[in-house]
Structure formats: structure tokens, C-alpha cells
């Protein structure tokens, strides 16, 4: 335990948690804000289901599974990769120069220094959503399903986390990336609230082969629901979440290191 606490990354994580917990009122308000945000999303979907019963052949339990996979992945990403969201401020203020002076991984430092416990709110909601999902569709949680659920969350987290790293890497060239954050990181999540087959064929191709966020929840849901795989581009896509996540993470790290080569201090 002592050796673990002496690890520099762990010490940065502990310091990050302590700094955020110093203002507990703000911490609690933020948790309530997250809860309210996701409840409002659930309410919109519930109203649509109340009126139409199904959405493009997907019933309430199946949509709940999509939501469950998304929330769990978002919980991991919000906890570990939150440092990528405010990275433009880090560059603008010149704080990145301090990171470069330490004999540690730069990206490891950024992630550790911004470790965010509020991501646990997403995980808590994920467990609630999982209970509701299981009540509605009764998934058989044998060893194979539990194992695949875990690697699906891992793969989905890598996909969403890698996207954050790639967008943050733009700051090495342009300093500010707020517009890309809203367009790519936040707005794109709305696509994951609904099954992919409600969108046009062009959008389905884009979200599968170019910007592959459909692997976060849509394709792996076919595994748990035993839905007809002929409805998707290829049956093997249901197993693609972790491989796609690992591939994107390698690409993200490459773009990060490439951006570092062109980094010049803002001088502020």
C-alpha cells in the first residue's frame, strides 16, 4: 500500500481528489446537476416510448440497455479523461511547460492531475439503469455475458476517451479547441441515445467506419439482446468494441506525441 501511495501518478490523483473535495458544496451541486441532466434525457425517451411504444423496432428495455452501456462508459471517461476537456486552458496559461519539466509521461500527468470523482455519479446511474434494464428484458448474466459486459465498457471508455485526447491534441497547434469540444465530444453523444438504425444510411456508415462511436453501445447491444445480426453491416461488428477502442487509443497517443513536437509555449 505504501509503495502504491508513493507512485507519482497516484499522488497526483490524491491531490486532485483533495482539491475538489475542499469545496464539498460545489461538489454536491455538480453531482445533482449531472443527475438532473441524465434524468431529463431519460424523460424525453420515456415520453417518446409512451407515444410510439417502440423506436424503429427497439422497445423500452432494449433502449435502456443502450443507455446503460453509454452511462457506464461515460462514468469511466468522466473520471479518468476529464483533464482533456480543459486542456486548452492548461496550454493557454502556460501550465503545460511545468508538466514538460517533470520526468513523467505528460499525458499521464494531465489525466492524474484532473482525476474527477464526479464520474462516480455516472457509474451510480449506470448501476441503476442496469437494474432497470434487467427488469425489463431479463438478460442472463452468466460468466460469458458478465465478461463481455466488462470488456464492452472498457472498449467504449477507450473509444470516448481517445476522442477526447485527439480533440485535446488540437490545442498544440491552435491553443483553443472549445468549438471542437462541443461539436465532437459533447454533441456527438446525442447519437448514442438512440439505436443507429433510426438514422440515414450515410450517418450509419459515418458512425461505424469513420467516427466509430456506434461501437460504444449499439453494436455490443446485439450480443446481449441476441438480435438478428443481419440488420447490421456485418455480424462480427458486435465484437468490435474493444479492438476499435484499443486502435483509437493508439492513434490518439500517436497524435498527442506528434502534437507535442510542434508545441511552443504561449509565454503567458
Contact between 16 and 22 (Cβ < 8 Å): no
Query: Can you point out the beta strands (E) in 144-239?
Result: none
Cβ atoms 140, 229 nearer than 8 A: no
Each residue of 14-65: pLDDT tens digit? 666 666 666 666 666 666 676 666 666 666 666 666 666 777 888 888 888 9
Instruction: Determine, yes or no, domain membership for 225.
Output: yes
pLDDT band at residue 242 under the 50/70/90 scheme: very high
What is the Cα–Cα distance from 76 to 120, expressed in whole angstroms?
Answer: 8
pLDDT score of 145 more than 90 = yes
What value, to the nearest 5°, has the Cα angle with vertex 214 and ends 135 and 80? Answer: 80
Q: What is the pLDDT of residue 216?
A: 96
For 254, the domain range is 2-261
In this predicted model, what pLDDT tens digit does every residue of 180-204 receive, in sequence order? 887 888 888 788 888 998 899 999 9
The model scores a pTM over 0.85: yes
Look-up of cell digits 499525458? 107
Beta carbons of 159 and 241 less than 8 angstroms apart = yes
Contact 154, 245 (CB under 8 A): yes
Distance CA 256, CA 45 (A): 37
Provide the CB-side half-sphere exposure for 88 (13 A, CA): 16
| Grid coordinates of 45 | 425517451
Q: Is residue 69 part of a domain?
A: yes
Q: For residue 266, is it within any domain?
A: no
d(CA 27, CA 197): 38
* Mean pLDDT of the 217-221 span: 94
| Residues pairing with 55 in the sheet | 58
Work out how many domains the chain is built from and give that number.
1
Q: Quick one: pLDDT at residue 30?
A: 63
Query: What percentage of the chain has pLDDT greater than the value 90?
Result: 31
Helical spans, DSSP H, in 93-118? 96-101, 106-113
Q: Does residue 268 lie in a domain region? A: no
In Å, how far are 8, 107, 165, 260 from 266, measured between CA atoms? 27, 19, 20, 13
- Percent helix, strand and coil across the chain, each to the nearest 5: 80, 0, 20
Is 58 in a helix, a strand, or coil?
Answer: strand
Amino acid at each position: 500500500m505504501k509503495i502504491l501511495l508513493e507512485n507519482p501518478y497516484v499522488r497526483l490523483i490524491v491531490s486532485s481528489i483533495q482539491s475538489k473535495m475542499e469545496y464539498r458544496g460545489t461538489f454536491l451541486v455538480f453531482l445533482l446537476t449531472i443527475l438532473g441532466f441524465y434524468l431529463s434525457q431519460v424523460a424525453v425517451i420515456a415520453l417518446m416510448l409512451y407515444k410510439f411504444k417502440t423506436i424503429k423496432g427497439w422497445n423500452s428495455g432494449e433502449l435502456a440497455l443502450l443507455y446503460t452501456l453509454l452511462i457506464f462508459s461515460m462514468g469511466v471517461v468522466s473520471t479518468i479523461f476529464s483533464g482533456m476537456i480543459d486542456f486548452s486552458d492548461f496550454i493557454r496559461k502556460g501550465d503545460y511547460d511545468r508538466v514538460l519539466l517533470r520526468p513523467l509521461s505528460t499525458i499521464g500527468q494531465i489525466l492524474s492531475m484532473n482525476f474527477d470523482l464526479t464520474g462516480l455519479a455516472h457509474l451510480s446511474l449506470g448501476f441503476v439503469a442496469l437494474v432497470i434494464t434487467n427488469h425489463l428484458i431479463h438478460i442472463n448474466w452468466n460468466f460469458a455475458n458478465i465478461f463481455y459486459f466488462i470488456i464492452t465498457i472498457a472498449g467504449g471508455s477507450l473509444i470516448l476517451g481517445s476522442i477526447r485526447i485527439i480533440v485535446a491534441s488540437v490545442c498544440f497547434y491552435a491553443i483553443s479547441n472549445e468549438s471542437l469540444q462541443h461539436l465532437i465530444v459533447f454533441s456527438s453523444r446525442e447519437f448514442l441515445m438512440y439505436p443507429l438504425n433510426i438514422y440515414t444510411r450515410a450517418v450509419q456508415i459515418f458512425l461505424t467506419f469513420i467516427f466509430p462511436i456506434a461501437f460504444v453501445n449499439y453494436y455490443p447491444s446485439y450480443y446481449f439482446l441476441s438480435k438478428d445480426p443481419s440488420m447490421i453491416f456485418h455480424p462480427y461488428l458486435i465484437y468490435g468494441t474493444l479492438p476499435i477502442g484499443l486502435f483509437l487509443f493508439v492513434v490518439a497517443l500517436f497524435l498527442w506525441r506528434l502534437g507535442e513536437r510542434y508545441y511552443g509555449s504561449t509565454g503567458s
